[in-house]
Structure 1
Amino acid sequence: MLLTKPVADQQSVGLLVPCQGVYNIGKNIYINKTKEKKKKNKKTKEENKIKTKGHLCFLFHNLQHQKKETAMDSSKESAPWFKSEKAALTALKASDWNLEGAFENFYNQPPARPLVDPRHLEEFYLKYKDAYSDMIMVDGVSAFCDDLQVDPGDVVMLVISWHMKAATMSEFSKQEFSNGLQSIGVDSLDKLKSLLPYLRAELKDEHKFREIYNFAFSWAKEKGQKSLALDTALGMWQLLFAERVWPLVDPWCQFLQAKHNKAISKDTWVQLLDFSRTIVPSLSNYDAEGAWPYLIDEFVEYLRDIGVVHPC
């Protein structure tokens, strides 16, 4: 049996012709739109490249201007490193090409660590070393602060001690001093002075602030003691919460002096930071059934008793 292709009747052929015409018109429209879209995407990419180059030029123009100002001032030492174009591009991308945000990211990036000269680091240490022990003791730390032109009670000294992993306040072992400064790429006083603004800025980072806050407890307490003396704790809280503001720090210190007047445990120290970060100053989200230390529960009652906040 032979199979034959059916022949369309005249009416079917008549219908096919206009359908074919509509198809061809639609096909041409689609092709044209696709071409226009490709041209538009190409144009957008070119515009983005120009925009990127413009941002980078502006960013680096500002940086170069700052370098010139620094070089013109003989009292300032130029930074031992400078940001790269790659770092600037990273900052721009991270800020979704927002120039103001890029500047903040750009200048808050940790600097690339320069090489540290062990001989210079040794000389730096010996300048402050105690005459009778292989340590930098209170007098040496005081001279160190004088040379840095910072007060011994300046919070930046806490940050420096954190980098050094210092075991206790107002003294550094040779290993702490040397390893700590090497970790931040410093082997001279001038280099450390140039780095002070960056070290202060580390307190603005929530993660680093928490690490420094927790470090401060062991660093500030007396050797051999498990708790932190109340007066020392009050001073440390005032110092730290001046950097990451907690509106209730003054009432908290007043409460401790009036109602507690005892040393502060590690648990209370750690959980107070959690309390300050999670509970709003009005205490509207405070849960009396929560697992807060009894001292914090008593503080909440104290605030309500003196009318600082009102019961919900």
Structure 2
Amino acid sequence: MGGTRGRSKKRAANTDDMWNSKSKKKSHAAALEGTAEKLFQELLDGAAEQQPEEEIDTEQLNMEGIAMLGEKLGLDVETDLRIIVLLWKTGASKPGTLTKTEFMEACKNGTLPIENGWSSVKEMLPRLDIGFLTGNEFKDFYKFCFQFNRQGTHKTLDKELVVALLPMVLKDRVPSDRLESFCDFLTSMEGKQEQQYNRITLDQWASFWDFCVECEDLGAYDQSSSAWPVLIDEYVEYMEEKLKK
């Protein structure tokens, strides 16, 4: 009988341990949610100060709110791609926007470590360098850069924005002369071509990266068997003419 009582005590102790563990997890989750709510509200308040005459949507951060996020982390949203990497990792799904649901979920699953507030998020910044992205991961991020920078219902990007973004996103991944010449090509087009490529599609944006990976030598480019968008064909023609001069 003593052995039975011993086993009962052990079971009771194990039950208490499980209860305490669950209780601690719930307390931690509740504290984490409270911190996330506080941080998100700080971003909303900062955006409201920048737009005192406009009504702020409390369920999402607009670009002013995202700029405030960059400020909290010491990042320039116009020049530092780490803020875009962070938004990509949080699962931002709409152009120029981070919803409260996305922010809260990122805090909950650890994508945004917030145990010690903004200082915890700052500690992860070195890991947001795009040099750490490889293969399909970078390709996915590259497409995200296009999608996130769209405005309203537009499915294309303004050519001037593309010319500004490409060197930032593809620096150290594509030879500088390829980047410079392609941007020169986009900005120097005249007449019909300029109208045709005044805005760039996602397919054109994505194809330029694939083209850079698959065709390092323009001399080996065969337009007759090319499956690339016409934009790429015309870029190669532009380079051939440039080399003849």
TM-score where L is the length of structure 2: 0.72
The question of 1:136 aligning with 2:51 is answered: no
Residue 152 (structure 1) shift: 0.8
Aligned to 2:179: 249
The question of 1:272 aligning with 2:175 is answered: no
Residue 185 (structure 1) shift: 4.6
Measured in 2, the distance between the counterparts of 1:167 and 1:174 equals 12
Q: Write the mapping of 1:163-182 to structure 2, written as runs, cut at 5 A.
A: 163-182=89-108
Residue 181 (structure 1) shift: 3.9
Query: Could you report, residue by residue, the CA deviation over 1:71-105 in whole angstroms, capped at 9, with x for unpaired residues?
Result: xxxxxxxxxxxxxxxxxxxxxxxxxxxxxxxxxxx
Measured in 2, the distance between the counterparts of 1:185 and 1:286 equals 44
For the Cα contact (< 8 Å) 1:202–1:208, is it kept in 2? Answer: no
Measured in 2, the distance between the counterparts of 1:202 and 1:160 equals 14
Gaps of 5+ in 1: 1-113
Aligned to 2:165: 236
For the Cα contact (< 8 Å) 1:271–1:292, is it kept in 2? Answer: yes
Q: For residue 200 of structure 2, give the secondary structure of its aligned residue in structure 1.
A: coil
Measured in 2, the distance between the counterparts of 1:250 and 1:214 equals 20
Residue 161 (structure 1) shift: 1.2
The partner residue of 2:34 within 116, 119, 140 is: 119
The partner residue of 2:73 within 139, 144, 148 is: 148
Query: Could you report, residue by residue, the CA deviation over 1:137-181 in whole angstroms, capped at 9, with x for unpaired residues?
Result: 333222221221111121101101111222345432101222234
Query: Could you report, residue by residue, the CA deviation over 1:103-131 in whole angstroms, capped at 9, with x for unpaired residues?
Result: xxxxxxxxxxx988111111111110155
For the Cα contact (< 8 Å) 1:155–1:240, is it kept in 2? Answer: yes
Summarize the Cα distance change of 1:161–1:236 in structure 2 as closer, same or farther, 3 Å threshold: same
Q: Write the mapping of 1:7-86 to structure 2, written as runs, cut at 5 A.
A: none
The question of 1:284 aligning with 2:219 is answered: yes
Summarize the Cα distance change of 1:202–1:238 in structure 2 as closer, same or farther, 3 Å threshold: closer
Residue 286 (structure 1) shift: 1.8
The partner residue of 1:186 within 89, 113, 119 is: 113
For the Cα contact (< 8 Å) 2:174–2:212, is it kept in 1? Answer: no
Aligned to 1:220: 149
For the Cα contact (< 8 Å) 1:168–1:220, is it kept in 2? Answer: no
Summarize the Cα distance change of 1:243–1:163 in structure 2 as closer, same or farther, 3 Å threshold: farther
TM-score where L is the length of structure 1: 0.57
For the Cα contact (< 8 Å) 2:82–2:130, is it kept in 1? Answer: no
Count of residues paired in the alignment: 194
Measured in 2, the distance between the counterparts of 1:276 and 1:200 equals 21
Measured in 2, the distance between the counterparts of 1:213 and 1:124 equals 28
Query: Could you report, residue by residue, the CA deviation over 1:194-248 in whole angstroms, capped at 9, with x for unpaired residues?
Result: 0011111564422211110011111111111121111111122111111523330
Q: Which has the higher contact order (CA 8 A, sep 6+)?
A: 2
Residue identity opposite 2:85 in structure 1: V
| Identical residues among aligned pairs (%) | 23
For the Cα contact (< 8 Å) 2:207–2:229, is it kept in 1? Answer: yes
For the Cα contact (< 8 Å) 1:186–1:192, is it kept in 2? Answer: yes
Task: Return 194-203 or 254-263, whichever deviates more.
Answer: 194-203
Query: Could you report, residue by residue, the CA deviation over 1:274-295 in whole angstroms, capped at 9, with x for unpaired residues?
Result: 1011101x31332211201111
For the Cα contact (< 8 Å) 2:43–2:69, is it kept in 1? Answer: yes
Residue identity opposite 2:139 in structure 1: R
Aligned to 1:15: none
| RMSD of equivalent CA atoms | 2.2
Measured in 2, the distance between the counterparts of 1:263 and 1:186 equals 38
Measured in 1, the distance between the counterparts of 2:163 and 2:237 equals 20
Task: Return 205-214 or 242-251, whichever deviates more.
Answer: 242-251
Aligned to 2:135: 206
